[in-house]
Structure 1
Amino acid sequence: MPATLLRFLLLFALLLLGYASAHAQTPAERPTATVTGFGDPEPMDPRYAQAAELKELKTQLQTLLQAYDQLVMRYNAQNAQLQQLERQQTTSPANRVRALRTPPVASGSY
């Protein structure tokens, strides 16, 4: 019985130590953003914090839209170039040099 109790207490202590170290590595639930930037502990007004977050989201959305527009333009240019190449191949086949085939070997020449 004492060995079981000792084992339980040891495992429980290890569990608590593991939880404490894992919890210490997680980011803070509510980071304290400073108003003046000099390290004062006063949190920002939620209205201004939401406005700042909204502005950041708008700039990220604008950046994503510009990147998407560039991708669409690049896709359209590549698609037009591919269609042009396909049209050129169907109208005038490439100057291909056919490989000279060796004549079949006659069966009696062995």
Structure 2
Amino acid sequence: MTLLWKRNNRTCGEIVELIPLAQSTISKHLLELKKANLVNIENIGKKTIYSVEVENIQMLKKYLSSYLSTMEIPEKSKSTVSATRHKLIGRKNHLKQHNYEFPDRRVKVAL
């Protein structure tokens, strides 16, 4: 999207040359942008030219700015901090720290 914004009217091939992704991947993304009315598609001969729908992008930008300004961003929850600490300590040490014990699951068979 940034490539189209900087220089409007690009073909999929031009975008593929600038981005290290497969042509099919870029085509799918461009099609999704078209479905969202964020990109125009114009066929000129065998070439398909993609361009930005400037008005729709500006409207989306206004909406997102308005929406994000009303959101409160919560602080990290204790569970997130605990999970991060768990990763740092390591599972085995973490279990020892809390005195977890697991029963022996092997069944002994008497003959």
Please indicate, yes or no, whether the TM-score normalized by the shorter chain is above 0.5.
Answer: no
- Structure with greater helix percent: 1
- Structure with greater strand percent: 2
TM range (shorter): under 0.3
Q: Could you say which structure has the greater relative contact order, defined with CA pairs below 8 angstroms and 6 or more residues apart?
A: 2
Structure number with greater Rg is 1
